[in-house]
Structure 1
Amino acid sequence: MARIAYVNGRYGPISAARVSVEDRGFQFADGVYEVLKLIRGRLVDADRHLARLRRSLGELRIEPPCSDAALQRVVKETITRNGLGNALIYIQVSRGTAPRNHPFPAAAKPTLVVTLRRLNLPGATELEKGTKIITLLDERWGRCDIKSTGLLPNVLAKQAAQEAGCREAWLYDAAASDDPVITEGSSTNAWIVDENGVLRTHPTGSAILGGVTRSVVLELAVAAGVKVEQRAFTLGELRRAREAFLTSATSLVLPVTTIDGHPVANGMPGETTRRLMADYAAHCGI
């Protein structure tokens, strides 16, 4: 069946969906987005995603286009019209349409777009053997905690990873020391089990996006009795790690077994990673 999109109060074929050329999301990347997943007809962690959307809108001083309850109705209706049981739901809100000028327009109405596509999760081989990543200099802006549509540095990093035959690029901040700190991936959060057996990931703040999957995995790790610290790790510590994995809404918990062409430990997913993979899959109902 044809894919159906929601745009500013109207449902219709995605091929016919339109926003103005003067929409500030197009002109300035003046907008935010959120991504939810639907598994077997159930939205996973929708409340956390919508809370993050509200936060991003507030940080950019964009008025919400509607209440959370109304947005959930739009999302559910878009799901129904697309007829998918497993789907990726993309929500984008821009400041709206106005003649191109940098200052905020006085009376623009926010633009709301909701689209769906089929959810493609990591395959069995990648889950069993792990994935490959590269590391790159983090060239993003200073407010990575806002889920902004301004993603060009992320796009370039992801393209570099693809051209290197890897799934992802983990980014490092070279300003602090001779041993750069890993922030996060181009579209994922980064984790290691360090030399002392401690599970670590970068603390929340302006340097990373506080991933919804990340927040769930932190809770699952604590519940499983894993020693966990929200503490940044360096490139050197990454290379000496016992285990590594990445998290995101679409990648779930995915082992990282090769970094910059070198194996992580013995080159296979470790015990902590496997435990959290299973626990998160159960959380999602997979």
Structure 2
Amino acid sequence: MSRTVYVNGHFVPENEAEISVFDRGFLFADAIYEVTAVLNGRMVGFDGHMARLRRSLRELEMGLPTSDQRLREIHLELIDKNALQEGLVYMQVSRGAADRDFAYPAPGTPASLVMFTQEKSIIDSPVAERGLKIASLPDMRWSRRDIKTVQLLYPSMAKMEAKKRGADDAWLVESGLVTEGTSSNAWIVDNDNTLVTRELSRALLHGITRATVMALANSHDMKVEERGFTIKEAQNAREAFVTSSTALVHPVVAIDERPVGDGTPGPFARELRRLYIEASLNSAD
């Protein structure tokens, strides 16, 4: 059955969806996106995603063709039209269509808004049970990683290189420190049982799930420290894990073929995942 998608003001079957060949998202990756998880037919963390979307828009001096309330309504309508119970809603905003020119088009050029749903098993994820194997790779992305743009070619290349090495994903390293995963924030649990994740900056995405996990950890008397760490420190840590909107919390069991801890998902990652799912199901929109 064909999905219903949203393109510039219209709900259409996916095989009828069209976007201009002159759209700057297509020509220049001049676009941003957000992915909102859906559990039991309800959105998780929508307000956080909207706040980050607005921040990305401001950083790129880009407009948005509708209000936050209308975006919420479109999300909910897509979930309803596609009878989505578990998965995600993808939203992309580009600067719109104009003749190809590196300079931005004139003010008033309508932005493009595209949205679709995708089914995905989130709660009963097999990765959460077995854990991730990670390969470390140099971070060769542009320097404004705090803006959630669609410039995702290098993360895709890194993920594929990790798979060639027998791993599930990559952690990206710059100046000797882990920045983040290809599509997630990276965490370790040190020998003092402190949760460690990179401090916020332009070097990494300001994860919505990262913020929620940090709040959950603090409310359950888990120590959290925001700082960089090396691959060697991560390999010697008690635990490691990643956070993202659709992974929630996934444990890391090996880095560059070296086991982390005893090589199985650890208690902190399991407990944080449980707490996150519980909180999300209770607070979803």
Q: Is the shorter-chain TM-score for this pair beyond 0.5, marking a shared fold?
A: yes
The alignment status of 1:12 with 2:12, answered yes or no, reads: yes
Q: How far does the alpha carbon of each residue in 1:56-101 deviate from its partner, in whole angstroms, 9 at most, with x for none?
A: 1111010112110111111111112111111210000000000000
Tell me by how many angstroms 1:124 deviates: 5.4
The alignment status of 1:283 with 2:279, answered yes or no, reads: yes
- Pair 91,235 (structure 1): closer, same or farther in 2 beyond 3 Å: same
SS in 2 for 1:113: strand
Distance 2:207 2:79 in 1: 23
Distance 1:64 1:251 in 2: 28
State the partner residue of 1:77.
77
State the partner residue of 2:188.
192
Unaligned runs of 5+ in 2: none
State the partner residue of 2:127.
126
The answer to whether the 8 A contact 2:24-2:97 is kept is yes
Distance 2:12 2:264 in 1: 46
SS in 2 for 1:285: helix
SS in 1 for 2:71: helix
Tell me by how many angstroms 1:151 deviates: 1.1
Instruction: Give the share of equivalent positions with the same residue, in percent.
Output: 44
In the alignment, which of 224, 241, 244 is matched to residue 245 of structure 1? 241
How do 1:44-193 and structure 2 match up within 5 A?
Answer: 44-106=44-106, 107-121=108-122, 125-174=126-175, 180-193=176-189
State the partner residue of 1:268.
264
Q: Which of 204-213 and 276-285 deviates more?
A: 276-285
Tell me by how many angstroms 1:125 deviates: 4.5
RMSD over equivalenced CA pairs, Å: 1.4
The answer to whether the 8 A contact 2:87-2:246 is kept is no
The answer to whether the 8 A contact 2:195-2:223 is kept is yes
Tell me by how many angstroms 1:215 deviates: 0.5
The alignment status of 1:232 with 2:228, answered yes or no, reads: yes
Distance 2:77 2:281 in 1: 22
Q: How far does the alpha carbon of each residue in 1:106-158 deviate from its partner, in whole angstroms, 9 at most, with x for none?
A: 13100000101102327554323322111100001000000001111111111
The answer to whether the 8 A contact 2:123-2:277 is kept is no
- Pair 122,279 (structure 1): closer, same or farther in 2 beyond 3 Å: closer
Q: How far does the alpha carbon of each residue in 1:232-260 deviate from its partner, in whole angstroms, 9 at most, with x for none?
A: 11122112111000111111111101111
Unaligned runs of 5+ in 1: 175-179
Distance 1:73 1:123 in 2: 28
In the alignment, which of 209, 212, 221 is matched to residue 213 of structure 1? 209
SS in 1 for 2:251: strand
State the partner residue of 2:38.
38
SS in 2 for 1:84: coil
SS in 1 for 2:147: coil
Tell me by how many angstroms 1:271 deviates: 2.2
Tell me by how many angstroms 1:163 deviates: 2.3
Q: Which of 92-101 and 127-136 deviates more?
A: 127-136
Aligned residues: 281
The answer to whether the 8 A contact 1:37-1:119 is kept is no
